[in-house]
């Protein structure tokens, strides 16, 4: 049995149906999907996604990232993403291990194991990297701990630390090292992103985020787009649209109220922005999504 097959088998054992499943492992979720899915908005927090079976696409702005069992995805900042499973079936579902990145642990490892040479750092907040056999093996052992829960408190921290070490010393290590440095450009943009996410409903000047990042206006806009593939205004708009969609679908509120709730004074402007992002007017989109969930 290859490590890929072993990891897929372990994940399948602990995902009784489609969806995202929390686990007793700290910061670890398992994902299963038995058919290709429509693009759906989601916020990618700093995390690593290791696919054991199937394939997924993550679109941020105009940039598309496709990852599978050969390539894992690292998200270095909280990004609004349109995600879709593009390869999955009942007999071979999409199976993924998602691990939140513990930056305290990674920073300590980075100090203990400095880079042997300068490492190129991807400009984007999402990066794809080759998944090594050693990383696959550690991931499989982590999920296997779900079968011996008494071992989790002692062994899970050790296995997670090994996974962080494999990531740090692998091809995606450069971005993790920059994430671990408080004064890096990546962390400057991350601070601005956190501020925008907290204040996205408010009618505040987006340029305030440049002050939060400690950058000039021109440098901030340049580096923000490099990391997120979006302008700060586009980033805020996507956050607003994702929240409005959730309010309409999950809470059943009308489009005008949803738009007002996320910071729009003009229902027509809200409808235009929503249609541009999701391809359908707000009420029609929410109705179709509710019907799909109920079917």
Q: What is the pLDDT along the chain (295 residues), one digit of tens a residue?
A: 455 689 999 999 999 999 999 999 999 999 999 999 988 888 888 999 999 999 999 988 778 899 999 999 999 888 888 899 999 999 999 999 999 999 888 888 888 888 766 555 555 788 899 999 999 999 999 999 999 999 999 999 999 999 999 999 888 888 888 877 766 788 888 889 999 999 999 877 888 999 999 999 999 999 898 888 889 999 999 999 999 998 998 888 999 999 999 999 999 999 999 999 888 999 998 888 877 655 5
pTM assigned to the model: 0.82
* 148 contacts: CB under 8 Å, gap ≥ 6: none
What does DSSP assign to residue 124? S
Same domain, 152 and 214: no
Give me the pLDDT at residue 183, please. 67
Say how many C-beta atoms besides its own lie within 10 A of residue 5's C-beta: 13
Same domain, 279 and 215: no
Give me the pLDDT at residue 292, please. 66
Same domain, 159 and 269: no
What range does the domain containing 276 cover?
234-294
Same domain, 201 and 82: no
CA-CA distances (angstroms) from residue 186 to 27, 178, 215, 246, 255?
22, 7, 12, 29, 36
Q: Are 164 and 102 in contact (CB under 8 A)?
A: yes
Same domain, 26 and 83: yes
Instruction: Provide the number of structural domains found in the chain.
Output: 3
Give me the pLDDT at residue 133, please. 94
Domain boundary residue among 118, 146, 180? Answer: 180
Domain boundary residue among 180, 200, 219? Answer: 180
Same domain, 72 and 106: yes
Same domain, 139 and 71: yes
Same domain, 19 and 160: yes
Same domain, 93 and 190: no
* 79 contacts: CB under 8 Å, gap ≥ 6: 43, 44, 60, 125, 126, 193, 228
């Amino acid at each position: 049995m290859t490590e890929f097959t072993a990891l897929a088998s372990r994940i399948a054992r602990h995902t009784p149906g489609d969806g995202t499943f929390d686990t007793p492992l700290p910061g670890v979720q398992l994902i299963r999907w038995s058919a290709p899915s429509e693009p759906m908005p989601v916020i990618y927090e700093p995390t690593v996604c290791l696919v054991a079976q199937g394939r997924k696409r993550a679109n941020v702005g105009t940039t598309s990232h496709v990852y599978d069992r050969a390539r894992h995805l690292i998200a270095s900042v909280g990004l609004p993403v349109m995600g879709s499973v593009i390869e999955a079936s009942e007999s071979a579902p999409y199976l993924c291990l998602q691990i939140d990145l513990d930056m305290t642990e990674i920073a300590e490892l980075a100090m203990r194991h400095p880079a042997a040479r300068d490492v190129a750092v991807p400009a984007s907040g999402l990066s794809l990297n080759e998944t090594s056999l050693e990383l696959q093996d550690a991931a499989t052992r982590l999920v296997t701990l779900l079968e011996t829960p008494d071992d989790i408190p002692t062994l899970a921290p050790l296995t997670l630390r090994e996974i962080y070490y494999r990531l740090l010393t692998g091809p995606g290590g450069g971005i993790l090292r920059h994430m671990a440095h408080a004064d890096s450009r990546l962390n400057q943009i991350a601070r601005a992103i956190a501020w925008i996410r907290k204040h996205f409903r408010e009618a505040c000047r987006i340029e305030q985020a440049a002050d939060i990042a400690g950058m000039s206006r021109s440098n901030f806009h340049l580096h923000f787009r490099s990391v997120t593939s979006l302008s700060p205004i586009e980033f805020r708009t996507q956050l607003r649209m994702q929240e409005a969609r959730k309010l309409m679908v999950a809470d059943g509120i009308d489009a005008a109220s949803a738009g007002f709730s996320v910071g729009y004074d003009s229902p027509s402007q809200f409808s235009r922005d929503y249609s541009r992002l999701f391809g359908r007017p707000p009420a029609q989109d929410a109705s179709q999504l509710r019907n799909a969930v109920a079917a």
